[in-house]
Structure 1
Amino acid sequence: MTVCCPILKLPLSSRFTEYQSESLQVSKIYPSNTPTPFLSLANQSSLQVPRFSRLWKNTTRAMEVQQSGTAVFKAGSSNAPMKLLFVEMGVGYDQHGQDITAAAMRACRDAISSNSIPAFRRGSIPGVSFDHMKLQIKLGVPHSLQQLLDIERVKSVFPYGRILNVEVVDGGLICSSGVCVEEMGDKNEDCYIVNAAVYVGY
């Protein structure tokens, strides 16, 4: 005996047919053994870091190391290292007498005269006392006058701090003062100018 069951044909919604047609198009572009674009994007975001993001993280990490105070300052290969806190800069002139050392001393006084450093005496830096203060001095002096520079006289300008090094490089200026005043020791009209950078740390 044969039983016939009626077959119900339900109409497909337009939304389902649209989805079905889209999935067929995707399967043509992407073979069955590869993930769909949506899966691919999810996997990429979880497994790969964008190149810009990696670069940003590396830059940020470098800045954090620099700002943490662990970076060691070293002005030259022969200098003892120190942790740099700040830099003072000044200019010195010798308008009469043609004394390059006097100009260098004035440049150093100009660099330190408008600064006060209470941090070392008050223990603001953990584990660092006043005795730990270190200085490195860099002077820009005209090349032809560098042999006449008295380094020990320049060092006497600094009231405290252990001077690690005094570096002399080509710089400064020789110009005319416009007048030769013999009673002030002038041999000519030359005015000597020296630039100074004082590095302070511990």
Structure 2
Amino acid sequence: MSGSLVLNLPFLSSTKPWSPISDYVPKDSSLPFFYPSIYLSNRPIIRPPRINRPIKATSAPMEAKQSGGYTADTGSTPPIKLLFVEMGVGYDQHGQDITAAAMRACRDAISSNSIPAFRRGSIPGVTFEQMKLQIKLGVPHSLQQSLDIERIKSVFPYGKIVNVEIVDGGLICSSGVHVEEMGDKNDDCYIVNAAVYVGY
């Protein structure tokens, strides 16, 4: 036939069904079974292609709000030059005061840290008055509007608070007991998570 190309590829034209690998391994072989490719020289070894995709590392801006949250201090706040982040958790087991839980979370975040660098001038060109804080609180959605932001701010002894952000988080659970003498309306326990961003 003129103009046609015929390839003689026995392994493609064979009608014999594919045999299990064990058919190619000699019974008396001392080679381990988990390395069978040496016995398949007369069969095609088909492997899926490797696709190398570059991994992109991304970081969300610190001010990005989660679903359901709000920012207590409105206005455009430029991002601070972040030095470190303090994290804490606070509870109100009796009295059902979500602000008390948030204040305890903030105290927990800052209570085991000291920041001498600002007072001692360890950061070139930065004075103590330039210390800035951003507060992010995880609070159960149904309780967010009950927060007293000014009471929460009073926890921080120094540093300019440039932003307080409230997002869905925390927890409402049972304390296991309803104590009227402690102001309980029910047995709810409120839990708040806090992240305090410190910079200048």
Which residue matches 2:165?
A: 167
Give per-residue Cα distances to partners, 1:114-142, cap 9 Å, x unaligned.
00000000010000010010000000000
- TM superposition score normalised by structure 2: 0.64
SS of 1:153's equivalent? helix
Segments of structure 2 that go 5 or more residues without pairing to the other structure are 1-53, 65-74
RMSD: 2.3
Secondary structure of 2:166's counterpart equals strand
Partner of 1:92: 90
- What is the Cα deviation at residue 188 of structure 1? 0.2
What is the aligned partner in structure 1 of residue 151 from structure 2? Answer: 153
Which residue of the partner structure matches residue 63 of structure 2? 75
For residues 103 and 178 of structure 2, the distance between their equivalents in structure 1, rounded to whole angstroms, comes to: 22
Q: What letter is aligned with 1:199? A: Y
Aligned to 2:119: 121
- Give the Cα–Cα distance (whole angstroms) in 2 for the partners of residues 172 and 78 of structure 1: 26
**Structure 2 equivalent of residue 102 of structure 1:** 100
1:74–1:82 Cα contact (<8 Å) kept = no
How many residues were matched structurally?
A: 136
Question: How far apart in 2 are the matches of 1:79 and 1:190?
Answer: 36
Q: Distance in 1 between matches of 2:76 and 2:99?
A: 23
The whole-number CA distance in structure 2 between the counterparts of 1:105 and 1:168 is 13
CA distances 1:65-86 after superposition (whole Å, capped 9, x unpaired): xxxxxxxx75249432210000
Secondary structure (helix, strand or coil) at the match of 2:173 reads: strand
1:5-154 equivalences under 5 Å are: 74-76=62-64, 78-154=76-152
Are residue 177 (structure 1) and residue 163 (structure 2) matched? no
SS of the aligned residue for 2:101 comes to helix
TM-score norm. by structure 1 comes to 0.63
Greater per-residue helix proportion: 1
Separation in structure 2 between the aligned mates of residue 102 and residue 126 of structure 1, nearest angstrom: 37
Letter in 1 for 2:63: A
Could you tell me whether the CA contact under 8 Å between 1:101 and 1:153 is conserved in 2?
yes
Who is 1:41 aligned against?
Answer: none
Structure 1 consecutive aligned stretches of length 4 or more whose deviation exceeds 2 Å: 76-80
The DSSP-based 3-state class of the residue aligned with 1:180 is coil
Equivalent residue number for residue 23 of structure 2: none
- What SS does structure 2 have at the residue aligned with 1:183? helix
Aligned equivalent of 2:4: none
**2:190 alignment partner in structure 1:** 192
Query: Residues 74 and 80 of structure 1 are in contact (CA less than 8 Å); yes or no, is this contact kept in structure 2?
Result: no
